[in-house]
Amino acid sequence: MACQTIETPIGILTAEIDRGRITRLGVFPAGESDPKADELVLADRLRDELDAYFHGERRTFSLPLSLSGTAFQRKVWEEIKKIPFGETCSYGEIARRIGHPGASRAVGSACRANPVLVLVPCHRVTAADTPGGYVLGGAAKAFLLTLEARRGG
């Protein structure tokens, strides 16, 4: 397993890579790392794709992910990945799309549990009348939404 830290405009993120897939990307202490060559290559790809995203040169990511979570969480994350760059969707709308109307709070919980921030763009999920929360805080969410809006979402 490899742990790498990556400096971004929203802070230093830690990536965890295991068996050729990104398993976590967020703010957490980097664990012990014994990286294999393919994991280092993937860490470089991640760094390059994030850099391109933050410079407005990339709207989607092509990195292999391995996401651990409940069946409900994985369903929410798959739906979130469908939200186009520069657009937002409410917690309630995500709940309706996955066949669980009225589960907007559970969608919010799934967003908080998202193991790969930015790559699964939970920052694009908002409350009905406010931006809603974000695990990295409101300023980071506002930055990401503004970045995408400026890039012509």
Instruction: Write out the two tokens for 7.
Output: 């400096």
Active site residue 122: yes
User: What pairing do the DSSP bridges indicate for beta strands 125-126 and 21-26?
Assistant: unpaired
Cβ-based neighbour number of residue 150 at 10 Å: 10
Least Cα distance to 16 among 30, 7, 8 occurs for 30
Write the single-letter amino acid at 143: F
* Helix H or strand E encompassing 42: helix 37-54
CB 13 within 8 A of CB 27: yes
3-state secondary structure of 74: helix
Residue of 3, 89, 111, 122 marked catalytic: 122
Q: What residues act catalytically?
A: 122
